[in-house]
Amino acid sequence: MKCTRCRAKAEVQLRAHNSAFCRPCYVVFFQRQVERAIARQRMFARDEPVLVAVSGGKDSLALWDVLADLGYATSGLYLGLGIGDYSARSRDKAEAFAARRGLPLRIVDLSEVGPGLGVPEVAAATRRTPCAACGTMKRHSFDAAALEAGFAVLATGHNLDDEAARLLGNVLHWQKDHLARQRPVLHPTHPKFVRKVKPLYLVSEYETAVYAFMRGIDYVVEECPNAVGATQLVYKDVLARLEVESPGTKLRFVQEFVRTAQPAFAEVEHQAPGECAVCGMPAYGEVCSYCRLVREVETKRARAAAGRM
Ligand code: Q46
Ligand code: ZN
Cα(79)–Cα(197) distance, integer angstroms: 17
Domain assignment present for residue 296? The answer is no
Task: Give distance in angstroms: CA of 268 to centre of ligand 2.
Answer: 25
Strands 274-275 and 282-283: antiparallel
| pTM score above 0.85 | yes
pLDDT of residue 268: 65
CA–CA dist 247, 20 (Å, integer):
14
Q: Is 131 in the pocket of ligand 1 (CB under 6 A)?
A: yes
**Short-list 193, 175, 100, 189, CA closest to 139:** 193
* Residue 138, domain member (yes or no): yes
Inside any domain, residue 145? yes
- pLDDT (0 to 100) of residue 306: 84
End-to-end CA distance of the chain: 74
Task: Indicate which ligand has the atom closest to the C-alpha of 226.
Answer: 1
The fraction of the chain above a pLDDT of 70, given in percent, is 99
For ligand 1, is residue 226 a contact (CB within 6 Å)? Answer: yes
pLDDT digits (tens, 9 = 90+) for 257-308: 999 999 988 876 567 899 999 999 999 899 999 999 999 999 988 888 887 7
Ligand 1 pocket, 224 CB below 6 A?
yes
Give yes or no for residue 119 CB within 6 A of ligand 1. yes
pLDDT of residue 109: 95
Ligand 2 centre distance from Cα of residue 164 (Å): 31
**What is the identity of the amino acid at 182?**
Q
pLDDT reported for residue 76: 98
CATH number at residue 48: 3.40.50.620
Residue in 60, 81, 224 to alter for ligand 1 test, most ligand atoms within 8 A of Cβ: 224
- Residue 261 Cα to chain centre, angstroms: 22
Q: Are 69 and 61 in contact (CB under 8 A)?
A: no
pLDDT beyond 90 at 111: no
Q: Comparing 90-94, 175-179, 249-253, which segment has the lowest mean pLDDT?
A: 175-179
Highest mean pLDDT among 53-57, 125-129, 230-234, 283-287: 53-57
The answer, yes or no, to whether any atom of ligand 1 lies below 6 A from the CB of 130, is yes
Whether ligand 1 lies within 6 angstroms of the CB of 233 is answered as no
* Residue 117, pLDDT score: 85
The answer as to whether 243 is a domain residue is: yes
Q: Mutation test of ligand 1: which of 86, 122, 134 has the most ligand atoms closer than 8 Å to its C-beta? A: 134
Q: How confident is the model at residue 309 (pLDDT cuts 50, 70, 90)?
A: low
Which pLDDT value is given to residue 123? 92
Total number of domains constituting the chain: 1
Position 12 in a domain = no
- At residue 283, what are phi and psi to the nearest 5 degrees? -150, 145
- CA dist 177 and 230 (Å) reads 21
Residue of 98, 119, 120 whose CA lies nearest to 107: 98
**What does the pLDDT read at residue 269?**
57
For residue 196, report the phi and psi dihedrals to the nearest 5 degrees: -110, 130
Q: Is the CB of 217 under 6 A from ligand 1?
A: no
Distance from C-alpha of 177 to C-alpha of 170, rounded to nearest angstrom: 9
Expressed as residue numbers, the domain containing 117 is: 35-272
